[in-house]
Structures are given as C-alpha cells and as structure tokens.
C-alpha cells in the first residue's frame, strides 16, 4: 500500500513539473529589436544595436545585446493603459537629447510593461522636462 502511494505521489509530482515547464515555455516570450540610437535603461546607458528581450516571469525581463556585451535584468510593472495598436513594440521617452526605454509591449495581446525610471530620468521628470514618446516596432526572436 505504501509503495503504491509513493508511486502515485511521484507520478503526480512529475506531471505537475511537466505542466509547469510547459506553462513557463508558453509564457517565455522572446523578441528581437534593432535600436538605431543610444538609450538608457534605468541608470545604464546602452549603445545603439541589436537586442533580444526575454520575458522571464513576475515582471522581470532580460535584455541582451547580440554582441554579448550587455546582459541587463529589468524590473517592470503592468502599464495599465489600453493598447489598441496590438503590435509588439518598445516605447522610449525622450528628454532633450536623452532617450530612456519606457515601456515594452512584447505580444499582440496589448499587455504592456512599464520600466521603473532610473535616477537621471526621475531628475528630468522633476524638472518638468517635456518628454516625447518614440515607438519602435519589434519582431519575435528566431
């Protein structure tokens, strides 16, 4: 009786683990984008170039450059605005000559993620510098 109960428990744990792995793989969105200008993410300045963005989980994203020089983990919060465009894209905020990655729409479902501003961006916002939005369309990674 005990051995059959252990067998059932092991089977249930294996099935649960497989289900979680499939669910994680389905939610593990990856996109590729070419950013044609220098920009900031938080307090880090990044060069123009090709990047891959991966949705990890719980609002965490991984931003990697194709040349392997940049690996940044980014924390985000739900954007909360309705997106009727339904195209994956990056949204940047520009204050004068400085450009900050502001929002990321990874999928066509319209759910956007907003990046938390770094200290430099906060300072510009406090000075009431007018911000202009720029959008870049992105494609799924291959």
Question: How do the domains of the chain map onto residue ranges?
Answer: 29-140
Kindly give, in sequence order, each residue whose CB lies less than 8 Å from that of residue 107, ignoring residues fewer than 6 positions away.
Answer: 29, 88
Residue 28 has pLDDT above 70, yes or no: no
Region 27-35: mean pLDDT is 81
Residue 101 pLDDT greater than 90, yes or no: yes
pLDDT confidence tier of residue 131, bands split at 50, 70 and 90: low
DSSP 24-90: HHHH--EEEEEE-S-EEETTEEE-SEEEEEEEEETTEEEEEETTS--EEEEEEEE--S---S---EE
User: Cα separation of 142 and 139, whole Å?
Assistant: 9
Mean pLDDT computed over every residue of the chain: 75
pLDDT > 90: percent of the chain: 31
Rounded-to-integer distance, Cα 88 and Cα 104, Å: 8
Tens digit of each residue's pLDDT (9 = 90 or more) over 36-75: 999 999 999 999 999 999 988 888 999 999 998 999 999 9
Higher-confidence residue of 49 and 130: namely: 49
pTM of this structure = 0.70
How far is C-alpha 87 from the geometric centre of its chain's CA atoms? Answer: 14
pLDDT tens-place string over residues 70-96: 999 999 998 876 666 667 889 999 888
Question: Is residue 65 a contact partner of residue 34, using CB atoms and an 8 Å limit?
Answer: no
């Amino acid at each position: 009786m005990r051995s059959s109960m252990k067998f059932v428990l092991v089977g249930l744990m294996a099935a649960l683990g497989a289900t979680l792995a499939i669910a994680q793989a389905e939610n593990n969105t990856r996109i590729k984008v070419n950013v044609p200008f220098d920009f900031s993410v938080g307090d880090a300045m990044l060069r123009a170039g090709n990047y891959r963005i991966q949705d990890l989980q719980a609002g965490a994203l991984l931003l990697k450059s194709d040349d392997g020089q940049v690996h940044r983990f980014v924390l985000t919060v739900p954007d909360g605005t309705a997106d009727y465009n339904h195209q994956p894209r990056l949204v940047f905020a520009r204050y004068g000559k400085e450009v900050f990655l502001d929002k990321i729409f990874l999928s066509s479902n319209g759910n956007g993620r907003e990046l938390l501003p770094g200290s430099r961006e906060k300072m510009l916002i406090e000075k009431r510098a007018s911000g202009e939005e720029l959008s870049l369309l992105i494609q799924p990674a291959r």
